[in-house]
Amino acid sequence: MNEIKTKPPLWILLELTHKCPLECPYCYNQLDFAKIDDKMQKEDWFRVMEQAREMGAVQIGFSGGEPLLNKDLPELVKKANDLGFYTNLITSGVSAPIGIVQKLKEAGLKTVQIGIQSHDKDIITLLTNNKTAYEQKQNFIKEVKKEGIQLIINSTIHKLNIDHVDKIIEYANDVGANYLELANVQYYGWALENIDKLLPSKEQIEKARKITHTYRENKNNKMKVYFVVPDYYEVRPKACMNGWGTTFLTINPEGDALPCNMANTLPLKFPNVKDYSLEEIWNRSNSFNYFRGDSWMSEPCRTCNEKEKDFGGCRCQAFALTNDMNATDPVCEKSQHHNIITDTINRALETSNDGLIYRNRNNSINFIGKNHANC
């Protein structure tokens, strides 16, 4: 294993399972993610947390799939809390066992981030392909507020709900969210499969951003609102996870250690925490060192004066769009592949919302229903 000196990871994400009761067509997970088995046992997660804390990591997130499906979740949260981590649960709020929120609060859980697709039951049903998701989410939110846990609502924004941003903000405010993240879809995995049906126009994004800004300007509004623009409407790419292997470390249900959630879509071999310590993986593994520094870069990145800001952009996005993980992220207007982005935008403008592709491809349904004609 080669070694490049770097700072320790600050944020650890534990993907406890890739099982999920929902089939959201904008899911960023890789197309075959459901085939990844839950091979990590409670003791394995404990060991990972101990090693991460020893390295200096300070925040830990429990996610999936749906982390509520892991029966050991309260014990895992308690272990993390006892080690001194700031603990976060990233969930859909669906499939929650009775009394789980109280147990998580007692275990030391600090924050719940729940995904809410819309203020509207019919749109939630459509986007999750789950007829009881709306009610389950509402009940879960009530429990979180009852227990006094900080609540973050993440609403993934796309062509089907972007014209309802005002209603989503109103909904999040009414249920008592501390934070609302209006995160435009980042197009990986199933989201990339559905991009023509999901990518909004630039005009829609600007309108939604203005609505968000208007809410923020009202000093009586206490909820903090963030608006994340999709990469496709930028002229420079975002830095890949603040820089590949600089800040974030993800462990998937099989125990593979990854610099980001999507990294195992790349043609790299990632080490497993059952075979190596986190310190060995972070500092000396070939995969974590591969995109550190700039020796891997070709033009235009190699001589670009912005390469230390964006590090050539997202490696997973570059690979998904060009089949070359070393390529400049096509989002960058300097990229020789930038036409992929502009062509996609133009195609999406001409594509209807019908026929969403879910993880179960036999479940594709059309976007129809009351009052949704202009969504």
Residues flagged as binding site for [4Fe-4S] cluster: 20, 24, 27
Binding residues: 20, 24, 27
CA distance 306 to 105: 44
CA distance 17 to 254: 9
Distinct helix (H) and strand (E) counts, the chain: 14, 9
> Which DSSP letter does residue 131 get?
T
CA distance 245 to 260: 8
Kindly state the tokens that stand for 43: 């003791």
Contact 45, 15 (CB under 8 A): no
> Which DSSP letter does residue 265 get?
G
DSSP 99-114: THHHHHHHHT--EEEE
Contact 331, 317 (CB under 8 A): yes
CA distance 7 to 220: 40
Positive or negative torsion for Cα 22, 23, 26, 30: positive
Kindly state the tokens that stand for 192: 């990339």
Where are the extended beta strands (E) located within 79-167? Answer: 86-91, 111-115, 150-157
Query: Roughly how many angstroms between the first and final C-alpha of the chain, as a whole number?
Result: 51
Peptide bond into 300 cis (omega under 30): yes
> Which three-class secondary structure state does DSSP give residue 95?
coil
Taking the CA of residue 131 as centre, how many other CA atoms within 13 Å lie in the half-sphere pointing to its CB?
0
CA distance 213 to 19: 37
Peptide bond into 65 cis (omega under 30): yes
Give the full edge-to-edge strand order of the sheet including 224-228: 224-228, 179-184, 150-157, 111-115, 86-91, 59-63, 11-15, 248-251, 257-258
